[in-house]
Amino acid sequence: MFKFPFNWLKAVSDIEVSYDDLLKWLNEQGFEIASLEKNGEDTIIEIEVKANRPDMLSIAGVLREVYISNKLPAPKVFDENICLSFDKDNKLSHEIKINSSDVHRYCGVEITDIDNTVKTPDYIMDVLTKLGVPSINPVVDISNYVLLLIGQPSHVFDTDKLVGNINISNIEEPIEFLTLNGSKTEFPKGALIISDDEKPICAAGMIGSPNAEITANTKNIIIESANFDHIIIRTTSKKTHVSTMASYRYERGVDTEMSYVGARILTKMITDICGGKVNTKAYCYKDAEYTPNVLKLTTERTNSVLGTNLFPDEIADILRRCYFDVKVLDGTTMEVTVPSFRLDIEFDVDLIEEVGRIYGYHNIEPQPIKLYAPYKENTVNKNANMLRNIMTGSGFFEILTYGFIHSDAMKILDINEKSPYYGDIKILNPLSNYFELMRPTMAYNIIQTAVNNLALGKTDIKIFELGKTFKRNPGHEDSYEDYTEKNMFGALITGVKYKKGFGVSKEIKYSVYDAVAAVRSIFGEYNIPIEIKNNDTFEMFERGVGAEITVGGKHIGIVGKISKKVLSAFENGKLAKDDVLYFEFCYEELEESKKSISYESNFPSVVREYNFIVKNGIHFTDYSKLITAESPLIVNVKPIDVYFGTGVEKGSSAVLINVEYNAITRTLSTDEIEIVEKGFKEKLLKKFGIELKK
Amino acid sequence: MKNHISEIKEDFSGKLETVTATEGLQIIESSFKKTVKELFGEMKNMAPDEKKEAGQLINDLKNDFEARFKAIKEKFLNSPSVTSEMDLSIASPEFVRGKIHPLIKVGKMMEDVYKEMGFSIAYGPEIENDKHNYEMLNMPYYHPARDMQDTFYLEYPNVLLRSHTSCVQVRYMLENKPPFMIISPGVVYRVDEIDPQHTPCFYQIEGLVVGEGINLANLKWAMTESAQRIFGESLKVRFSPCYYPYTEPSAAVDMSCIMCGGKGCRTCKGTGWMRVAGAGMVHPNVFEGVGYSRDTVGFAFGWGLNRLPMLYFKIAEMRKLFENELSLWEQL
């Protein structure tokens, strides 16, 4: 972001600046107007400056865009023609010693006998006040003003406070010192710190220290106008949480050649305003000579990236308009010299973007894609969509929750470390403990959502969610590989299944059988044979009302009734008066197996009902298999109802079963059926102790 | 006989007064016909005088009621609502269907549009490492653009929750060679405190097309086409220069405001436009990082999949998407 008063821009421009045209241009060029704020006769414009365009973090940069928009040659360069000779061998009163590769330029100018008690001129005060930059004293104010004007940060030392040399180096041990923002900051090992022979005086490119602070009484100064490496400033700023106007610019990149300009402008302004005597033999360090970036660009590449039909001349004109130096080498190849302020231009594609930007993205005609790329089906996506169809068709609502859950979720769900649904992957910087644990099961959020809806007055709830669960991957305990993710499906049912009225004389609530039926129906749709067997190891279910879902003996999910203990651990969980039924399974590997529709017999079936007394723990899947195996005449065996209570011995239940008999070649006779019946009844009694209810 | 006939007359008159439907009238009519037949039967044993009188009475009764039946039938025909035994003025029992979450609903619309265009779907992990989420997307550890994508970290160094689904694209490129067209829908994470317009998780649909001849004009087509298929042909899509470290050239993508049609309103802050996506031509550094040549061409885009359902269903607050208030989803 960069804020500037519009009147300041007008004042520094040699041409007329239209407010509306400026706003339109900036918006179109990707420097969107973030805010406009009236300030008396002036308007403070705030533009969004992306990380690649630090050159736009100054009024000089904005002015350049004004000139580009008006197709004019580059505006005047802000500089001062004063007599300063820069040399690394020039010695100041305090010798500058650079011992770091993070310093690219370092200009030091010494001025003595200034008067810093004078008033900061109105034109500077006007800009600083409008931008909310506090006025300190003329020297500091000028330094801030120059930063906003040309984007070059600077620092000024009170030489009377310095002892010995000015040393710039990366510190070997962390140090803590008071900075000019009034707080003590610890700078980590490696930070670029400027010290004299006794004490730290500045965190380079970031913030100064009161140890060499400029005050109204300051008489003798050394101006620093330097260029520090963006990486060291960025990393130090991130680690210390110190961000200043200077660090914000250095971490994005500052034009190395502006160090000299900054030094000249500061020197001129300070001496104009505060007087003083300049040592014209200024110090200057540079780690390497500046060599402009020269890039080759072809018309073909430009048009092939943009989808345009631009001619070489058009491309060259656009680049020249943005102050690139362009030499057309042959018909289609250009040699482009990048100006020093355009730190973002590294490769030919950067130039192509520049061409696209000025040509106008809106002028590029959309073209349909002409590419053949083979289609690859995604099983997870296919399954998710299939499950959504099944569930919404069955009256379930889809919900979406966060992937992280409460840090106490395992305790709340009564899940212990040995459970396959246990999780302990935690976020180091959670928003709060409500969002700390990566969910190992879908249950927590689904139950919470159900309870929230109960609290909102809903009574009958059928919901499901598709999402990831996160677990550890044993054997990889020290890295990224320690985590595994699974695509899971979870669903919850509670409340009334059939409401009283409209022909229903008594309301019927959902029971665990409905959850089991839902699971069977889902896997039936996939035509995947599953087994659901009682299993009391899943702690969140009530004892005796929890089961495991397996496919070919492999655990795939769970189904059961959430225990009262678990429910009451949720806030508002006590609102759940009816059974809360839950099922969850991993869906990522489900594969639909093909079904066929058979209609072999044209003769009617016979369906007979049997009311068996079955001891608890004996599975329908097992004894129904035995019935089916009795005769090929049995084509279907299904449970109709289950009853326990009066008339049925404790530990057993009465199960009403329908058996369908059919023969392909004839209508069955009663005698034939009775023979079959007799056979499976005997076997049921012998193997499972199952008898008809008397 | 006379008394008997007047009794019959009274009885059937009473029945006709309460009849409300054609079906009921038919029952009364057939019962009446049976009664008349019985009456004529009774005449057999009568004296001739009596017979004549009785015959007259029965005929009068018959004619009287036949006229009445006809009148009532016509009345029923002209006022059909009364003839029905179904009263639509009262509420019917609920017929409950489930609903797909609004965010997913719009996401599926997008997926379907892109599938029709020939895109495949690719997924990837939500727990990512710094390399896939930032570094291979041209965002080294010191890159200031990381500030825009601050995310959550886990216990091991450089392990984090992905801040965009672009890392899925990186993984896809590492495992596949061009040409391909993929979209990667999914959850992403950012350190945003929950308020009406911010949630720490949100959804994106990112796209990546790599292959010979792919250009920015193709990107404009793919995004404009998909948005118009969902929001209607009158929708305008605007591209303006932008910056993402992983694309060059980069574009910010705006849609004409759904609420006001582009005239300017509160939702679009008076601009007529809404920022809905980011896009661009994939940066050569990204291609180089996955082992492709720097001359490879391709585009990438990323729709904010929270914003689109909010616009589609006119949901004012983003956090509502994750509150799962079922009574709201019932309106879908």
The string of pLDDT tens digits covering residues B117-158 is 999 999 999 999 999 999 998 988 888 888 777 899 998 888
Q: What angle do CA A236, A240, A245 make, to 5 degrees?
A: 75
What is the DSSP secondary structure assignment for residue A361, as one 8-state letter?
G
The rounded distance, in Å, linking the Cα atoms of A74 and A321 is 8
Instruction: Quickly count: other Cβ atoms within 10 Å of residue B263's Cβ.
Output: 11
Q: Tell me whether residues B118 and A425 touch, CB distance under 8 A.
A: no
- What are the start and end residues of each CATH 3.30.70.380 domain in chain A? 606-692
Same domain, residue pair B62 and B200: no
Q: Which of A448-452, B106-110, B188-192 has the lowest mean pLDDT?
A: B188-192
Tell me if chain B has a CB within 8 Å of the CB of A298.
no
Task: Tell me the mean pLDDT in the region A488-502.
Answer: 92
Domain A85-286 has CATH 3.50.40.10: yes
Task: Tell me the mean pLDDT in the region A301-318.
Answer: 95
Pairing state between β A397-398 and A461-472: parallel
For A581, counting Cβ atoms within 10 Å of its Cβ (0-12 exposed, 13-18 middle, 19+ buried), the class is buried
Say if residue B83's pLDDT is above 60: no
Of B155, B221, B323, the CB nearest to A369: B221
The rounded distance, in Å, linking the Cα atoms of A207 and A236 is 11
Contacts of B117 in chain A (CB under 8 A): 369
- What are the start and end residues of each CATH 3.30.56.10 domain in chain A? 2-69, 294-363
- Chain length of chain A: 694
Interface of A with B in 645-684 (CB under 8 A): none
The dihedral through the CA atoms of A99, A101, A103, A107 has a sign that is positive
- What are the E-state strand segments in A231-352? 277-286, 294-298, 325-328, 333-337
Residue A225 near residue A257, CB atoms below 8 Å: no
Same domain, residue pair B19 and B168: no
Tell me if chain A has a CB within 8 Å of the CB of B67.
no
Same domain, residue pair B229 and B303: yes
Same domain, residue pair B23 and B114: no
Residue A507 near residue A500, CB atoms below 8 Å: yes
Of B118, B154, B215, the CB nearest to A305: B215
Contacts of B112 (CB under 8 A, 6+ apart): none
Residue A531 near residue A557, CB atoms below 8 Å: no
pLDDT band at A386 (very low <50, low <70, confident <90, very high): very high
Of B120, B127, B221, the CB nearest to A485: B127
Same domain, residue pair B187 and B285: yes
pLDDT of residue A438: 96
In a domain, B299, yes or no: yes
Q: Tell me whether residues B327 and A458 touch, CB distance under 8 A.
A: yes
Same domain, residue pair B122 and B210: yes
Mutant choice from B86, B112, B115, B142 vs A, greatest count of A C-beta within 10 A: B142
* Minimum distance, in Å, between the CA of residue A270 and any CA atom of chain B: 33
- What are the start and end residues of each CATH 3.30.930.10 domain in chain A? 379-586
Tell me if chain A has a CB within 8 Å of the CB of B180.
yes
pLDDT band at B90 (very low <50, low <70, confident <90, very high): low
Q: Tell me whether residues A431 and B249 touch, CB distance under 8 A.
A: no
For A414, counting Cβ atoms within 10 Å of its Cβ (0-12 exposed, 13-18 middle, 19+ buried), the class is middle
Q: Tell me whether residues B97 and A392 touch, CB distance under 8 A.
A: yes
Candidates 3.30.56.10, 3.20.20.60, 2.60.120.560, 3.50.50.60; correct CATH number of A294-363?
3.30.56.10
Contacts of B323 in chain A (CB under 8 A): 452
In a domain, B50, yes or no: yes
Q: Tell me whether residues A371 and B209 touch, CB distance under 8 A.
A: yes
Instruction: Quickly count: other Cβ atoms within 10 Å of residue A628's Cβ.
Output: 15
Residue A130 near residue A258, CB atoms below 8 Å: no
Domain containing B193 equals 102-329
Share of chain B above pLDDT 70, in %: 95
In a domain, B150, yes or no: yes
pLDDT of residue A295: 95
The rounded distance, in Å, linking the Cα atoms of B181 and B306 is 23
The rounded distance, in Å, linking the Cα atoms of A534 and A548 is 6
Q: Tell me whether residues B214 and A373 touch, CB distance under 8 A.
A: no
Same domain, residue pair B189 and B260: yes
Tell me if chain A has a CB within 8 Å of the CB of B92.
yes
The dihedral through the CA atoms of A127, A130, A131, A133 has a sign that is positive
pLDDT of residue B37: 87
* Minimum distance, in Å, between the CA of residue B301 and any CA atom of chain A: 14
pLDDT of residue A648: 86
User: What amino acid occupies position A35?
Assistant: S
The rounded distance, in Å, linking the Cα atoms of B3 and A267 is 133
Indicate the residue among B54, B83, B112 that finishes a domain. Answer: B83
Residue B5 near residue B58, CB atoms below 8 Å: yes
What is the DSSP secondary structure assignment for residue B188, as one 8-state letter?
E
* Minimum distance, in Å, between the CA of residue A34 and any CA atom of chain B: 11
Residue A231 near residue A314, CB atoms below 8 Å: no
Rg (CA), chain B: 38
In a domain, B92, yes or no: no
Residue A173 near residue A163, CB atoms below 8 Å: no
Instruction: Quickly count: other Cβ atoms within 10 Å of residue B328's Cβ.
Output: 16
Q: What angle do CA A406, A407, A413 make, to 5 degrees?
A: 70
Same domain, residue pair B176 and B66: no
Nearest CA in chain B to A588: B123
Count how many pairs of residues, chain A against chain B, have C-beta atoms within 8 Å.
252
What is the DSSP secondary structure assignment for residue A117, as one 8-state letter?
T
Q: Is A360 left (phi over 0), alpha (psi -120 to 50) or beta?
A: left
In a domain, B274, yes or no: yes
Interface of B with A in 226-285 (CB under 8 A): 238-243, 245, 248-252, 281, 283-284
Domain A2-69 has CATH 1.10.630.10: no
Q: Which of A286-300, A394-408, B83-97, B166-180 has the lowest mean pLDDT?
A: B83-97
Tell me if chain B has a CB within 8 Å of the CB of A476.
no
Tens digits of residue pLDDT in B46-75: 888 888 888 888 888 889 888 888 888 887
Tell me if chain A has a CB within 8 Å of the CB of B193.
yes
Task: Tell me the mean pLDDT in the region A264-278.
Answer: 95
Q: Tell me whether residues B211 and A371 touch, CB distance under 8 A.
A: yes
User: What amino acid occupies position A593?
Assistant: S
Nearest CA in chain B to A486: B125
The dihedral through the CA atoms of B74, B75, B80, B84 has a sign that is negative
Tell me if chain B has a CB within 8 Å of the CB of A490.
no
Give B208-247 as a 3 state SS string: EEECCCCCHHHHHHHHHHHHHHHHCCCCCEEEEEEEECCE
Tens digits of residue pLDDT in A119-159: 999 999 999 999 999 999 999 999 999 999 999 999 999 99
In a domain, B204, yes or no: yes
Tell me if chain B has a CB within 8 Å of the CB of A507.
no
pLDDT of residue B91: 63
Same domain, residue pair B156 and B33: no
Q: Is A40 left (phi over 0), alpha (psi -120 to 50) or beta?
A: left
Rg (CA), chain A: 39
Closest CA to A443 of A475, A406, A476: A406
Indicate the residue among B19, B50, B83 that finishes a domain. Answer: B83
User: What amino acid occupies position A134?
Assistant: P
pLDDT of residue B284: 95
Same domain, residue pair B132 and B272: yes
- What are the E-state strand segments in A67-127? 85-87, 96-99, 103-112
The rounded distance, in Å, linking the Cα atoms of A262 and A111 is 15
Tens digits of residue pLDDT in B261-309: 888 888 888 888 999 999 999 999 999 999 999 999 999 999 988 889 9
CATH of the domain at B283: 3.30.930.10
Looking at this predicted complex, what is its ipTM? 0.87
The token pair at A393 is 């068709």
Give the CA count within 13 Å in the CB-facing half-sphere of A397.
22
Candidates 3.30.70.270, 3.30.70.890, 3.30.930.10, 3.10.129.10; correct CATH number of A379-586?
3.30.930.10
Instruction: Quickly count: other Cβ atoms within 10 Å of residue A471's Cβ.
Output: 20
- Please give the biggest Cα pair distance in chain B: 124
Same domain, residue pair B229 and B124: yes
Q: Tell me whether residues B154 and A375 touch, CB distance under 8 A.
A: no
Q: What angle do CA A141, A142, A145 make, to 5 degrees?
A: 85
Tell me if chain A has a CB within 8 Å of the CB of B209.
yes
Residue B199 near residue B321, CB atoms below 8 Å: yes
pLDDT of residue B71: 86
Average pLDDT of chain A to the nearest whole number: 93
Of B145, B187, B217, the CB nearest to A51: B145
Tens digits of residue pLDDT in A436-490: 999 999 999 999 999 999 999 998 999 999 999 999 988 877 777 889 999 999 9
Say if residue B322's pLDDT is above 90: yes
Give A317-360 as a 3 state SS string: HHHHHCCCEEEECCCCEEEEECCCCCCCCCCHHHHHHHHHHHHC
Residue A317 near residue A364, CB atoms below 8 Å: no
Say if residue A43's pLDDT is above 80: yes
pLDDT of residue B92: 66
In a domain, B135, yes or no: yes
Tens digits of residue pLDDT in A538-594: 999 999 899 999 999 999 999 999 999 999 999 999 999 999 999 999 999 899 999
Phi and psi dihedrals of B177, rounded to 5? Answer: -110, 150
Q: Tell me whether residues B322 and A251 touch, CB distance under 8 A.
A: no
Q: Tell me whether residues A403 and B201 touch, CB distance under 8 A.
A: yes
The rounded distance, in Å, linking the Cα atoms of B248 and B300 is 10
Helix (H, G, I), strand (E, B) or coil at A688: helix
Interface of A with B in 213-242 (CB under 8 A): 230-231, 234-235
Q: Tell me whether residues B154 and A425 touch, CB distance under 8 A.
A: yes
pLDDT band at B81 (very low <50, low <70, confident <90, very high): low
Closest CA to B215 of B164, B152, B281: B281
Share of chain A above pLDDT 70, in %: 100
Residue A129 near residue A179, CB atoms below 8 Å: no
Of B93, B145, B216, the CB nearest to A501: B93
A330, A374, B20, B91 from B81: Cα distances, Å: 88, 59, 10, 16
Buried b (16+ CB within 10 A) or exposed e, A50-77: bbbbbbbbbbbbbbbbbbbbeeeeebee
A317 alpha carbon, distance to own chain's centre: 40
Phi and psi dihedrals of A118, rounded to 5? Answer: -70, 170
Of B103, B126, B238, the CB nearest to A362: B238
User: Residue A223: enclosing H or E segment and its boundaries?
Assistant: strand A221-228
Q: Tell me whether residues A378 and B122 touch, CB distance under 8 A.
A: yes
Phi and psi dihedrals of A101, rounded to 5? Answer: -80, 0
The rounded distance, in Å, linking the Cα atoms of A270 and A277 is 10
Q: Tell me whether residues B99 and A398 touch, CB distance under 8 A.
A: yes
* Minimum distance, in Å, between the CA of residue B241 and any CA atom of chain A: 5
Tens digits of residue pLDDT in A584-640: 999 998 999 998 887 777 888 899 999 999 998 888 888 999 999 999 999 999 999
Say if residue A529's pLDDT is above 90: yes
Q: Which residues pair with A328 in a beta bridge?
A: A334
Nearest CA in chain A to B201: A402
CATH class of A606-692: alpha beta
Q: Tell me whether residues A398 and B100 touch, CB distance under 8 A.
A: yes
Q: Tell me whether residues B213 and A304 touch, CB distance under 8 A.
A: yes
Same domain, residue pair B143 and B73: no
Share of chain A above pLDDT 90, in %: 84
Report whether the peptide linkage leading into residue B179 is cis, meaning its omega lies within 30 degrees of zero. yes
The rounded distance, in Å, linking the Cα atoms of B80 and B73 is 11
The rounded distance, in Å, linking the Cα atoms of B297 and A614 is 69
Indicate the residue among B83, B116, B131 that finishes a domain. Answer: B83
Contacts of A396 in chain B (CB under 8 A): 98
User: What amino acid occupies position B160?
Assistant: L
The rounded distance, in Å, linking the Cα atoms of A637 and A624 is 6
Task: Tell me the mean pLDDT in the region A302-329.
Answer: 94
In a domain, B68, yes or no: yes
- Chain length of chain B: 332
State the total domains in chain B: 2
